[in-house]
Structure 1
């Protein structure tokens, strides 16, 4: 029989109040608190990120405060940058490609809740999020579960990304829609 953690990682219904999952979230919050603490040196932050994240903590730049559920499902390519106050709810994998810029107050969600109210009392599930290389996610954007954002895509500030965004486009709004292809360097 699968553990609640394995069900969570597989995108199946699981009980988020399972003791193992509660402990894992508490450990991640303690690590985030260390990153977010005033006076946390760059060297200490790097060491904490290496423990917290699934991969990429060695070259990522994260400007505190930063918050996540588990951290272990977050995979970052080289030189990913997060500005202030980002929230990543990583019940499933969040993969962000190399050199992607994430603006302030961006929120990336992987958890979902059943529409049935009785089931929702005890169960949730998730869908992974993937962001390509060299993307730019504008400040205050919200990326919903199951979304894939392509390489070099630009997401406008305040956008709510509800569906996939292809490579090399500017997409903005609520819901986020492709406005144009990116052909010029400006």
Structure 2
């Protein structure tokens, strides 16, 4: 775990996962994403994220446990079906990003100590996806990761560390195999 933290760009922020305001935020996100997933009406996501989606396409089902500005979408973003984003620590998605089906992005870092975990102690670290990035289906992006501009992440990759711009990276753990 220490190796992962040293290779990621963003600091951890601690929070109480059971604080009433965060519980309420998760309930609201669950209600709005359920409405979107059953109707396909993007206005529910616009309400959740407090922005218009003229240039963002998200295919249902879409799973997300926080709204507001916890996810920032660039221009002409495409998110395919069955993606799951856990954005408490913030997810920033650049312009012209294409995210394949079943992609998961997690910003939460839960303690390995079960006592601390049960007490709700948590931390998080944001994820940043650069402009012109393509993330292949089934990939998992972990907390604190930055994926540089122009990258391609191969399907099924588990991205545990930041990836430099214009890289093609694949695997578990995800590794750069070439620069474009």
TM-score (norm 2): 0.88
Partner of 2:94: 97
Q: What's the RMSD between the two structures over aligned residues?
A: 1.5
Name segments (4+ residues, structure 1) moved above 6 Å: none
8 A Cα contact 1:61 1:81, kept in partner: yes
- Per the alignment, in what secondary structure is the counterpart of residue 144 of structure 2? coil
Distance in 1, matches of 2:51 and 2:173, equals 30
8 A Cα contact 2:156 2:171, kept in partner: yes
Report Cα offsets for 1:107-156 as digits up to 9, x if no partner. Answer: 00000012333212221110000000010000000000000000110000
Distance in 2, matches of 1:172 and 1:155, equals 6
**Alpha-carbon shift at residue 19 of structure 1 (Å):** 1.5
**Alpha-carbon shift at residue 13 of structure 1 (Å):** 2.7
Partner of 1:109: 106
Report whether the alignment pairs 1:64 with 2:60. yes
Distance in 1, matches of 2:64 and 2:92, equals 14
Q: 1:155 to 1:54 in 2, by over 3 A?
A: farther
8 A Cα contact 1:54 1:74, kept in partner: no
Partner of 2:31: 30
**Alpha-carbon shift at residue 103 of structure 1 (Å):** 0.2
Report Cα offsets for 1:39-79 as digits up to 9, x if no partner. Answer: x3xxx31x222211265634210000001010220000011
- Per the alignment, in what secondary structure is the counterpart of residue 15 of structure 2? coil
Distance in 2, matches of 1:76 and 1:177, equals 26
Distance in 2, matches of 1:85 and 1:133, equals 22
Q: How many residues align?
A: 168
Gaps in structure 2 of 5+ consecutive residues: 1-10
Report whether the alignment pairs 1:13 with 2:36. no
Higher-RCO chain (CA-CA 8 Å, sequence separation at least 6): 2
